[in-house]
Amino acid sequence: MTLNRRTFLGTAGVLAAGLSAPMVLAQGKPRVVVVGGGAGGATAARYIAKDSKGEIEVTLIEPSRTYYTCFFSNLYLGGFQELSDIAHSYGTLAAKYGINVVHDWAVGVDRDSKTVSLAGGGSIPYDKLILSPGIDFVDGAVEGWDVIAQNKMPHAYKAGSQTELLKAQVLAMPEGGTFAMVAPPNPFRCPPGPYERVSMVAHVLKANNPTAKIIIADPKAKFSKMSLFQEGWADHYEGMIDWIGEDFGGGNVSVNPDAMTVTIDGEETKVDVCNVIPAMKAGRIAEMAGVTDGNWAPVNAADMSSKADPDIYVLGDASQQGDMPKSGFSANSQAKVCANAVRGALTGSKIFPAKFSNTCWSLIDTDDGVKVGATYEATPEKIAKVDGFISQTGEDSDLRKATYQESLGWYAGITSDMFG
């Protein structure tokens, strides 16, 4: 292109209007590849495809044909949702938004040639790559447990068959049996998740097996919404739940899946169900792309771009962004900021200042919902919390019921925001 007065003024006008200069591309349409069709990836793919109105080619790589949301998977355990209620397909993303949905694993990223290779063979070129692969477990995090043992001691921290298995195990517990949970260290996916799960398991046991016991071995001294959960456990499930925190050796744990034993600070207990939730790190493809610090992928708060590569963005649980908890709401919120920035970089559309929000609802018992949430902004260092809110202990039952109802509305909203 020759730079004449008209093109120069055109570009300057675009920049003055708060628009960004589009990236100069060798081929026709700019190409965005998204790896992972969960809360972050599906949202980003849908927003880029929807808002660019065909100007950008979007490919979504996701191995599963059905995505089971981890959010509300505890409610499935508790009998408040069916498995089919938390199952979603990618058909609308392809049919309505024209996204090229590839059901395969991404097994490599070549940052020089800007291609993503697939387990099934071949590779897909990108101008911008968005990674939202969720979490993987840290090898050897819980002594005696590895992924081979997940049928005997399920994690159920990626929803689907693991969640079904855990529910079947809870329902098959002998009368007066013991359910154990090994809780993870920070940071991890869904900070209130293990404690909502315990509440839901207690709800089921109270109805079917009221003399059963629950023990939680926890490496942490405190946990999300702790006083709310502890109040609820005392109110609804008195004497059933024993939380063993860091002070009582809750972090000094080993398990034996063949013998079905859990050893906490030297004391061995025979259990009937053991839900092991190991320490977590970014989904492996982020590490393979070379954008992690070994555990998580550091990103710039303004657009979720990787600190290691400006053409790669990392969303959701896999990212290390600052103050936001690793939640579906956070991933969805980050995806919209990223989609706007990626579209701006590729087409010159307006880029809005980054604003984020999150709320995590938890159900303790029927109609007893609690929540914690905050708004956030991008600073040069991180995504920083602006202000927050949390349910209070002692709230009346109408408010708790309304909080639960609010969570049902949120679920309907976020899943249609992800999948169309």
Interface contacts to ligand FAD, rule CB under 6 A:
35-41, 61-64, 67, 70-71, 73-74, 105-106, 132-134, 157, 189-190, 193, 197, 283, 285, 315-318, 326-329, 331, 360-361
Nearer to ligand FAD, 283 or 420 (CB): 283
Nearer to ligand FAD, 38 or 278 (CB): 38
CA neighbor of 354 nearest in space, from 338, 330, 374: 338
CA neighbor of 40 nearest in space, from 317, 322, 412, 273: 317
Residue nearest to ligand FAD (CB): 38
* Rounded Cα distance, 166 and 156, in Å: 7
How many Å separate Cα 241 from the centre of its chain?
Answer: 26
* Rounded Cα distance, 46 and 58, in Å: 9
Query: 124 pairs with which residues across the strands?
Result: 116
State the residue for tokens 């949120």: 410
Minimum distance, C-beta of residue 268 to ligand FAD, in the bound complex (Å): 27
Minimum distance, C-beta of residue 166 to ligand FAD, in the bound complex (Å): 10
Q: H helices then E strands: how many in the chain?
A: 10, 24
412, two tokens: 């309907």
Nearer to ligand FAD, 32 or 285 (CB): 285
Nearer to ligand FAD, 276 or 318 (CB): 318
* Rounded Cα distance, 138 and 366, in Å: 34
Minimum distance, C-beta of residue 42 to ligand FAD, in the bound complex (Å): 8
Minimum distance, C-beta of residue 14 to ligand FAD, in the bound complex (Å): 32
Q: Helix, strand, coil proportions of the chain in percent (round to 5)?
A: 35, 25, 40
Nearer to ligand FAD, 333 or 347 (CB): 333
Minimum distance, C-beta of residue 38 to ligand FAD, in the bound complex (Å): 2
Nearer to ligand FAD, 30 or 40 (CB): 40
Pairing of strands 355-365, 368-378: antiparallel
Minimum distance, C-beta of residue 124 to ligand FAD, in the bound complex (Å): 11
